[in-house]
Structure 1
């Protein structure tokens, strides 16, 4: 299996389903995520669907989501 590196063009990620939060702004200003075949997660800006996508391992996403649930990043948006 080919390993994906960070900063890939999102339009090169074929046969993935991009999802965004139901809480996203109507204007479409949001982050979209897609699970890749190796179970890593791609993240892109919804305003630039063909722009760059960052790729995170499953473990990295779990650590990030756990931190978000625990409020570790709240200061960034307060």
Structure 2
């Protein structure tokens, strides 16, 4: 029998999750750096929330605002970035 490995659901201090809320209210567990480059540790961190939404925060400001996106919004952004739609941000 295979065992299923699940990650713990982050304990959220504030029951109402909203865009721009202080990231510290989402707790310190469960944040991941999907990628990291040669930018001196200035990275984007992501957390998958229990309801399927995704929270993003700046790694250098973990107590700053969290931006909350639906799974569909994040999928559209990633697919668009892979297709080159966001290349204008690089220049």
With the length of structure 1 as denominator, give the TM-score of the two structures.
0.86
Task: Give every structure 1 segment of 4 or more consecutive aligned residues whose post-TM-superposition deviation is greater than 2 Å.
Answer: 21-26
Shift of 1:21: 3.2
Report if aligned partners of 2:44, 2:57 keep a CA contact under 8 Å in 1.
yes
Return the match for 1:54 from 42, 67, 81: 67
Residue of structure 1 in register with 2:56 after alignment: 43
Which residues in structure 2 correspond to 1:59-74 (within 5 Å)? Answer: 59-74=72-87
Matches of 2:28 and 2:50, distance apart in 1: 9
Structure number with the higher strand fraction is: 1
Query: In structure 2, do the counterparts of structure 1 residues 29 and 71 end up closer, same or farther at CA, with 3 Å as the change threshold?
Result: same
Aligned residues: 77
Bigger Rg over Cα: 2
Shift of 1:27: 1.6
Structure 2: segments with no counterpart, 5+ residues:
1-14
